[in-house]
Structures are given as C-alpha cells and as structure tokens.
Amino acid sequence: MGIVTTGLISFTLLALNLGFSKGFALTWLRSWSIAYLIVIPAILLVGPRLQAQIDRVVR
C-alpha cells in the first residue's frame, strides 16, 4: 500500500508542478524513492501511537 500511495502522490505532484518534461520519469523515480524511504519508517513509528490514541478516544 505504501508503494502505491507514495508513487501516486509523487507522480501527481511532480506532474502538476513541473509538467511532463524531458527526464520526468527519472525525476519521478528519484522523488518516489525518497518519499518511500521516509514514509515507511514514519508509518511504522507513528502508526501504532496514533492508533492507540484513536482507540482511547473511540472507547
């Protein structure tokens, strides 16, 4: 799921901000890989804490 989410978001933002210029694919792959490397550890670290807070509010 993280692969699809980061890939789609980075593709969309890059296309909107820079357009489909020469080197788009390489730039997109680079930005996607950076986003993926950041978001996966963030999900693993923040996710459980956030879920615990939500569980406390819902109960």
Which domain range does residue 20 map to?
2-58
Instruction: To the nearest 10°, report the CA torsion of 23, 26, 30, 35.
Output: 90
Look up the pTM and report it.
0.67
Cβ atoms of 15 and 44 closer than 8 Å: no
**Within 1-59, where are the H helices?**
2-18, 24-58
As given in the structure block, the two tokens for residue 46 are 């923040």
pLDDT in tens, 1-59: 778 888 899 999 999 998 998 999 999 999 999 988 998 888 889 989 999 999 999 98
The structural domain count of the chain equals 1
